[in-house]
């Protein structure tokens, strides 16, 4: 159990009309956290409106309230500006630069109310009149769960579903390094409140189309592992034959993690003649962003990407050579 920052509950109780904003390219953690918080505030008579710059991806449509998130253009077309709200809550992000990109920054320019931040990301932002930032928390959903309980609000079945989903997404269904007894206890309480674990898992991870499955079968046949580095590719022919699209290949790069002592993974996707998109992943301290940068790409330490224009074998050789300098 974690205690909300001083002032946050007063802020929530003393305001009436909230806009709750999440980061763009939203995931299950920000969506579930914001939706549950919105429902909780409504249950004590508050008015809430949900903001997300990006359209919510279809795999999250099962989450109750996910249909309520509105983009800036939807607010504008209804003649609603941020001045219409007396309070702003930023959830699972700690600055407006993670909420709106350049062209939409002006949406919040006429906001005159008070703002609060509820987040678990490392912060370097000064944004927010009230900040509740807990970088050691595995999911913002766990913070919102604690907050709702602390406010004495009953967790409904839909809040439980949203918060359980938030936790599952940010812990890889209880398999990442961030899983501890607190995560499992929160999940247990949410299951008791009506979240159905297998249903949520199934919605998130067991919804592959036949095309996606056929593409996977082709891609996995190309898997090789050399000195702890896994290589896989998807040719245009494989996409054509399976009927799958680029989105269907998402996360395929993670599969080789099943292999013992794996250090890094590369997934090459053919996007044109002598033209490949490479997704790079690694475990621990191996910084694949350094490799991606050498080919004009970028990313994070354990997840990066770049584009290579070369023959397939040459592209593989070049990536392999760079990766081997790291391991």
* Closest to a second copy by CB, 87 or 162: 162
Q: Are 121 and 135 in contact (CB under 8 A)?
A: yes
Q: Could you say whether residue 213 binds a second copy (CB under 8 A)?
A: yes
1 binds a second copy, rule: CB under 8 A: no
Residue 210 is a binding residue for a second copy (CB under 8 A): yes
Instruction: Give the residue with the Cβ less far from a second copy, 14 or 209.
Output: 209
Tell me the closest approach of the beta carbon of residue 18 to a second copy, in angstroms.
Answer: 30
- Distance (Å, whole) CA 136 – CA 220: 35
Rounded Cα–Cα distance for residues 303 and 253 (Å): 10
* Contact between 207 and a second copy per CB under 8 A: yes
- Could you say whether residue 154 binds a second copy (CB under 8 A)? no
Q: Which is nearer to a second copy, 1 or 44 (CB)?
A: 1
Q: Does 136 bind a second copy (CB under 8 A)?
A: no
Can residue 211 be called a binding residue for a second copy (CB under 8 A)?
no
Q: What is the CA radius of gyration of the chain?
A: 22
Residue 69: strand, helix, or coil: coil
Between 136 and 260, CB nearer to a second copy: 260
Q: How far is the CB of 272 from a second copy (least distance, A)?
A: 27
Q: Strand 87-91 to strand 114-119: parallel, antiparallel, or no bridges (unpaired)?
A: parallel
Cα 15 to Cα 138: distance, rounded to the nearest angstrom? 28
Report the SS3 class of residue 271: strand
Does the protein bind a second copy through residue 74 (CB under 8 A)?
no
Among 79, 152, 175, 325, binds a second copy (CB under 8 A): 175
Cα 275 to Cα 255: distance, rounded to the nearest angstrom: 23
For residue 252, which of 240, 263, 261, 244 has the smallest C-alpha distance? 244
Contact 56, 69 (CB under 8 A): yes
Binding site for a second copy (CB under 8 A): 173-185, 187-189, 191-192, 197-198, 201-202, 205-210, 213, 216-217, 220-221, 223, 225, 256-260, 262, 283
């Amino acid at each position: 159990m974690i205690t909300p920052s001083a002032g946050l509950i007063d802020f929530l109780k003393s305001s009436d009309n909230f806009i709750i904003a999440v980061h763009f390219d939203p995931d299950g953690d920000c969506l579930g956290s914001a939706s549950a918080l919105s429902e909780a505030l409504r249950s004590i008579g508050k008015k809430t409106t949900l903001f997300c710059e990006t359209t919510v991806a279809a795999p999250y449509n099962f989450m109750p309230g996910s249909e309520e998130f509105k983009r800036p253009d939807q607010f504008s077309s209804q003649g609603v500006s941020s001045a219409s709200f007396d309070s702003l809550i930023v959830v699972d992000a700690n600055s407006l630069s993670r909420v709106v990109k350049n062209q939409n920054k002006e949406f919040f320019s006429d906001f005159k109310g008070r703002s609060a931040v509820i987040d678990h990301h490392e912060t370097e932002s000064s944004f927010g009149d009230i900040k509740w930032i807990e970088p050691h928390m595995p999911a913002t959903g766990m913070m919102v769960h604690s907050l709702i309980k602390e406010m004495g609000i009953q967790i409904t079945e839909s809040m439980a579903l949203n918060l359980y989903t938030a936790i599952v997404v940010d812990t890889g269904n209880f398999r990442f390094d961030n899983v501890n007894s607190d995560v499992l206890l929160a999940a247990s309480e949410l299951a008791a409140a009506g979240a159905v674990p297998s249903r949520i898992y199934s919605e998130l991870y067991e919804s592959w189309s036949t095309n996606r499955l056929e593409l996977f079968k082709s891609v996995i046949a190309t898997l090789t592992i050399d000195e702890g580095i896994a290589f896989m590719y998807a040719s245009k022919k494989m996409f054509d034959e399976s009927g799958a699209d680029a989105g269907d290949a998402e996360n395929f790069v993670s599969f080789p993690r099943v292999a013992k002592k794996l250090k890094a993974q590369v997934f090459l996707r053919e996007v044109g003649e002598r033209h490949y998109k490479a997704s790079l992943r690694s475990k621990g301290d191996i910084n694949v962003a350094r490799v991606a940068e050498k080919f004009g790409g970028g990313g994070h330490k354990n997840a990066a990407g770049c584009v290579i224009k070369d023959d397939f074998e040459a592209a593989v050789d070049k990536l392999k050579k760079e990766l081997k300098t790291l391991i």
